[in-house]
Structure 1
Amino acid sequence: MKIDLYTVIAIIAFITLFIGLVIYFFQHKFFFHPEKLPPDFKFAYDHLKAEEVTVEPEPGAKINYLHFIVDHPKGVVIYLKGNTKSIKGWGKFAIDFTRLGYEVIMMDYRGFGKSTGKRTVEAMKRDSQFIYDLAKKEYSEEKIIVYGRSLGSGFAARLASRNNPRMLILTSPLYSLLRTIHRYLPFMPAKPFLRYNIPTFQYLKSVRCPIKIIHGSDDNLVPLSTAADLSEINPELTRLYVILRAGHINIHQFEEYHRVMEEIFEERKVIIDAEKTSLGYSHRK
């Protein structure tokens, strides 16, 4: 049976539209994998002291977060987590900052843990800014560090672009959700169907504080090239750290990750005397 060109085009258009509608209506299931917690759930962690707080950033929404406390804090880290589970499990990572003398504020996105409310990308942006504003009531911005891991990197970058924190740290960051879709569906014009795009790369253009990017060399979910591309957006303020053999979800299981964290938080500035280095040398001369 002979199929004419118009029929082929119609079939391709139908398939593209079908996939686009699947992306549009079900992307919240692709991008978010929440764990819901009962209202009476009690958070408890070894070697960590945490206060549970619930706030109402706007009518119809409640945001639940943990404030991890240390004696004589040097500052606070606003931790924006990945797209899975709840702060019940993510909370244990606060130790990576409390051991360095920093308190941690870690929130659950809407629909995660005990947080409630309609989840949209704009609502999530407002919620993270609301938490940042709460932190500013207790800390000056020069003592606030914004940390984003995986999906949280986009919200972290946006916070840093609209505020003046001391530092922005991104671990295993996404370039954008649109690029993530294109990686798996390169033929798909997904932008018109995307409701949750979080363009980390766009936000980084407006960040004015130091930017630290940490990425695993063996990250199969978000390739290392993503971090390299992000590091080139605002290069004068950015430093990229590569954790050899680390993947996307296990980067914290490598000692080098924790050595890098110590180096970042120490902020030891080294002044280079260009005249005493090979900076001006050329093989051609």
Structure 2
Amino acid sequence: MLALYVLVLGGLYSIQRALYYPAPGGGLALADDPEHGFEDMSLTTSDGLVLRAFYHPARPGMPTLIFFHGNGDDLNGGEVATRAFAARGYGVLLPEYRGYGGNPGTPNEQDLYRDGAAGIYWLENKGLPLNDIVLIGNSLGSGVATELAKRKKVGGLVLVSAFASLPRVIGQHYPYLPTNLLVRDRYDNVAKIGRVTAPVLIYHGTADKLIPPSNALRLERAQPAALLALERGAGHELVYSPVAAQRISAWLRDKFPAPAPPPPDSGTALDRRDGSVSNSSP
């Protein structure tokens, strides 16, 4: 029995990344909706990979959100989760991970940090200040978002359905496995979140069976300045629900008040040829 147990552990160790990076198959397509206005573009990582991404520019004075999806999702899911923010005027950048959506490379913890960092660098190169960037991490994406918020003084961090660490949440499902020894990619959010200086929202469903809400409580204890919001009856699909868009938008409005409207005469222009009035505001 002991030999069989060791054999199973060895097998799990060798294939673990295939288990927790199950990149979905199928093609990626942008929603044909001019209101959302996502653009298909690419990001270049520090190790030279060119990765596909979606981007929606912000209205003047609005922050830009970088959304990192979960391990079983892709850009299409990210677009669904963030289209309500785009419609409200927020900028949205959806970086895709290596090995996902037809991108080159193989996903692992350190390289996913590179992929996420490429999105921040791209926005910085466009002249966007760090304090106008908000990182949103869903499920596995919480690990990428937390690491980058620790490194960079961004404007905010939102963790949705986040785990305290990957070994911990796997251990909650498989208590008979030595996950601290077995799991190679750790995404140790609970050890990092206390070093995040940006405002933090921790948002979790009380009925999440994949990542139990005890993970959110543990993260809150590690970062007392964070706001913890628990959505009663919501499961692990929380980020795709209309209530999530409303709750996160309310937090964003509090941290990033909408810019003051322009004076009445600055948004219109008189056409001298026919006397008509044309709207020149965005």
Tell me if both proteins adopt one fold, taking TM over 0.5 as the criterion.
Answer: yes
Is it true that 1:192 corresponds to 2:181 in the alignment?
Answer: yes
- Tell me, yes or no, if the aligned pair for 1:144 and 1:166 is still in contact at 8 Å: yes
- Residue 133 of structure 2: aligned partner: 144
1:34 match: secondary structure: coil
One-letter code of the match for 2:167? Answer: L
Alignment match, 1:111: 99
Q: Does 1:229 align with 2:218?
A: yes
Which whole-Å CA distance do the structure 1 matches of 2:159 and 2:222 have between them? 14
Is the Cα–Cα contact under 8 Å of residues 150 and 173 in structure 1 kept in the other structure?
yes
Query: In 2, are the aligned partners of 1:20 and 1:190 still within 8 Å (CA)?
Result: no
Q: What per-residue deviation string (whole Å, max 9, x for no partner) do you get for residues 177-207 of structure 1?
A: 1012211221221233322221111120210
* Mapped partners of 2:250, 2:187: distance in 1: 29
Closer, same or farther in 2 for the Cα pair 1:60/1:70, shift >3 Å? closer
The alpha carbon displacement at 1:108 in A equals: 1.3
2:109 is the counterpart of 1:125: no
What SS is found at the alignment partner of 2:39?
Answer: strand
CA distance in 2, matches of 1:44, 1:260: 24
TM-score when normalising by structure 2: 0.83
CA distance in 2, matches of 1:229, 1:59: 34
Per-residue deviation, 1:73? 5.1
24, 36, 55: which is aligned to 1:35?
24
Q: Which amino acid aligns with 1:54?
A: S
Secondary structure of the corresponding residue to residue 7 of structure 2: helix
What do you get for the CA RMSD once the two structures are aligned? 2.1
> Which residue matches 1:282?
none
Q: Give the one of 88, 91, 104 matched to 1:100.
A: 88
**Separation in 2, partners of 1:90, 1:262:** 16
1:178 aligns to what? 167
**Identity, % of aligned pairs?**
23
2:60 aligned with 1:72? yes
| Distance in 2 (alpha carbons) for counterparts of 1:207 and 1:144 | 14
- Aligned partners of 2:96 and 2:115 also within 8 Å: no
* Aligned amino acid, residue 253 of structure 2: E
Which residue does the alignment assign to 1:219? 208
Mark the CA change 1:113 to 1:176 in structure 2 (over 3 Å): closer, same or farther.
Answer: same
Deviation at 1:170, TM superposition (A): 0.4
Distance 1:155 1:185, change over 3 A: same
Residue 148 of structure 2 is matched in structure 1 by 159
SS in 2 for 1:85: coil
Q: CA deviation at 1:32?
A: 1.6
1:264 aligns with 2:251: yes
Encode CA deviations 1:137-183: one digit per residue, 9 max, x unaligned: 23101100010001100110001000001110000001111012211
Give secondary structure in 2 for the equivalent of 1:33: coil
Q: For 2:170 and 2:153, how far apart are their aligned partners in 1? A: 31
1:113 and 1:197 mapped to 2: Cα distance? 23
Quick one: distance in 2 between partners of 1:268 and 1:167?
8
2:2 is equivalent to residue 19 of structure 1:
no
Q: TM-score, normalised by structure 1?
A: 0.82
Q: Distance in 2 between matches of 1:201 and 1:100?
A: 31
Equivalent residues, number: 254
| Alignment gaps of 5+ in structure 1 | 1-10, 270-285
Residue from 86, 91, 95 that aligns with 2:74? 86
Task: Output the CA distance in 2 between the equivalents of 1:224 and 1:81.
Answer: 18
